Amino acid sequence: MKTIAVIGSGSWGVALSIHLASMGHNVKIWSFDAEEARLINEEKKCKFLPMAVIPNNIICRNDFKEVIEGADFILHVTPSKFTRNIVKQYKEFVDCDKQPIIVCSKGIEKDTALTLDEVIKQEIPNARVGALSGPSHAEEVSIAVPTVLVSASKDEEVRKLVQDTFMNEKMRVYTSEDIKGVELGGALKNIIAFCAGVAAGLGYGDNTFAALITRGLTEIRRLGTKLGAESNTLYGLSGLGDLIVTCLSEHSRNRKAGKLIGQGKSIEETKQEVGMTIESIDNIEVAKHLSEKLSVSMPIVDAVYDILYNGLDPKEAVRILMTRDKKMED
C-alpha cells in the first residue's frame, strides 16, 4: 500500500482520495482552509460531496511539509488559476527523484498559455510530471460509480505507477504518452460544456447538444493539434469522453454556469450560485487568445467569449452560429 499526498481539498481532490483510501492506501490531503480540514478529520465529510463518507485512512492538514513528507507521489488538484502560486509554496518539500507530481486539475494558465504540467516543470525543473484525466464527476467517483481515466506522462514509470495505484474493479485506467493532448482535452472541453449549458438555459434540445459536442470537438482538435496534441488523444477518453460527460451532466459546474447565463443571470450571480471554481470562465480568454494567435477558426469559443465579455445576447449568439457562411464539414 502507498501513501499519497493530495494538494487540494475540493470535490475532485477528495473524491480521488476516497477512491485511493478504499483500496487501502493512506492519503494525506492539503487544504488552505482550517474548517475544511476539521470537517474531513472530525466529521468525515466534505462540504462539496454530501453523499460521500471520508474513510479513516484519510487525514487533512494545512501544512504542505506534513502532507508531502513520506508520500510516494503527489496529486495536484487545485484550480488552474492558483496552480503556479501553490506550487511555489510546496516545491521545497518535493523529492523530485522519488515523488512524481500528477496533475489532476483541468485548465490552462492565463498569462502564459501553458498547460499545468508545463507550469509545474517551470517551477520545479527536475520534477517528474504526469496527468490524470478523463470523463469523471467527483460526485460519482466518491460513491464508487465505475469510471475510466487516462494516466499520461512522457515518463513510462510515472504513468504506470498511477495506473497500478488507481486501477481496480471500480476504476479502469489507460496510459498515454501524450500529456499535452490529455491536458488540452480536459481544459478546452469546459468551454464547450459552458455553451451546452447556455443552450439548456435557452430551452434547446438534443439536436442542439449533439451539434455542440460534434462541432465543439472539431474546435478542440483544431487548436489542440496546433499546440502539439495528437488527434487520437482528443478523440479519446480525455477529449471526446470528457466532453460528452461535461456537456450532458447536471453534475457539471461548467454546464450549470452556462445554463444560468442562458437564463439571464450575470457572471457574478452565476459564480455565486455555482459556489465552486468555473474553469470555463477562467480559461475562455486564453483559448480566445490562442485561437487568434494561431489563426484557428473557433466560432463556438468566439460566441462564448462574446457572451461573457462583450454582452452578446445568448439567443443572438445562436443565430450568428447558425447563419455563418456555408461550408463543407471538416
Share of the chain above pLDDT 70, in %: 100
Tell me the CA distances in angstroms from 218 to 73, 180, 183, 199, 323, one per residue in order: 35, 17, 16, 18, 18
On whether both 172 and 193 belong to a single domain, the answer is: no
pLDDT bin (cut points 50, 70, 90) of residue 251 is: confident
On whether both 286 and 159 belong to a single domain, the answer is: no
Residue 250 predicted with pLDDT over 90: no
pLDDT attached to residue 275: 82
* Domain limit, last residue, from 177, 200, 218: 177
On whether both 27 and 165 belong to a single domain, the answer is: yes
* Residue 147 bridge partners (DSSP): 171
On whether both 15 and 150 belong to a single domain, the answer is: yes
Answer whether residue 147 is part of any domain.
yes
What are the pLDDT digits (tens) for 169-210? 999 999 999 999 999 999 999 999 999 999 999 999 999 999
189, 256, 259, 288: the active-site residue: 189
On whether both 187 and 305 belong to a single domain, the answer is: yes
| Cα–Cα dist 246/274, whole Å | 15
Q: What is the mean pLDDT of residues 296-307?
A: 94
Answer whether residue 329 is part of any domain.
no
Residue 287 predicted with pLDDT over 90: yes
Answer whether residue 330 is part of any domain.
no
On whether both 167 and 200 belong to a single domain, the answer is: no
Answer whether residue 296 is part of any domain.
yes
On whether both 25 and 153 belong to a single domain, the answer is: yes
Answer whether residue 327 is part of any domain.
no
On whether both 142 and 40 belong to a single domain, the answer is: yes
Answer whether residue 16 is part of any domain.
yes
Residue 180 CA from chain centroid, whole number = 14
Q: Which CATH number characterizes residue 145's domain?
A: 3.40.50.720
| Cα–Cα dist 107/282, whole Å | 8
Count of structural domains within the chain = 2
pLDDT bin (cut points 50, 70, 90) of residue 276 is: confident
pLDDT attached to residue 305: 93
pLDDT attached to residue 316: 94
On whether both 277 and 137 belong to a single domain, the answer is: no
Residue 277 predicted with pLDDT over 90: no
pLDDT attached to residue 243: 96
Answer whether residue 235 is part of any domain.
yes
Share of the chain above pLDDT 90, in %: 92
- Among 24-28, 55-59, 143-147, 321-325, which stretch is predicted with the lowest mean pLDDT? 321-325
Predicted TM-score (pTM) of the model is 0.94
On whether both 73 and 172 belong to a single domain, the answer is: yes
- Among 15-29, 70-84, 253-267, which stretch is predicted with the lowest mean pLDDT? 253-267
Residue 83's closest CA among 111, 120, 127? 120
Range list of H helices, 175-310: 179-201, 206-226, 231-234, 242-248, 253-262, 267-274, 279-293, 299-309
On whether both 244 and 271 belong to a single domain, the answer is: yes
Whether residue 28 contacts residue 64, with contact meaning beta carbons closer than 8 Å, is answered with no
Whether residue 188 contacts residue 291, with contact meaning beta carbons closer than 8 Å, is answered with no
* Domain limit, last residue, from 177, 203, 228: 177
Range of the domain at 163: 3-177
Q: Could you tell me which residues come within 8 angstroms of residue 254 by beta carbon, excluding any fewer than 6 positions away?
A: 190, 191, 193, 194, 197, 246, 278, 279, 280
pLDDT bin (cut points 50, 70, 90) of residue 261 is: very high
What are the pLDDT digits (tens) for 105-129? 999 999 999 999 999 999 999 999 9
Q: Which CATH number characterizes residue 230's domain?
A: 1.10.1040.10
Answer whether residue 314 is part of any domain.
yes
Active site residue 326: no
On whether both 187 and 117 belong to a single domain, the answer is: no
Residue 232 predicted with pLDDT over 90: yes
* Domain limit, last residue, from 154, 177, 200: 177
Q: 114: number of CA atoms within 13 Å, CB side?
A: 13
Q: What is the mean pLDDT of residues 247-268?
A: 90
Backbone phi, then psi, for 109, in 5-degree steps? -70, 130
What are the pLDDT digits (tens) for 68-103? 999 999 999 999 999 999 999 999 999 999 999 999
pLDDT attached to residue 280: 84
C-alpha cell at 110: 492565463
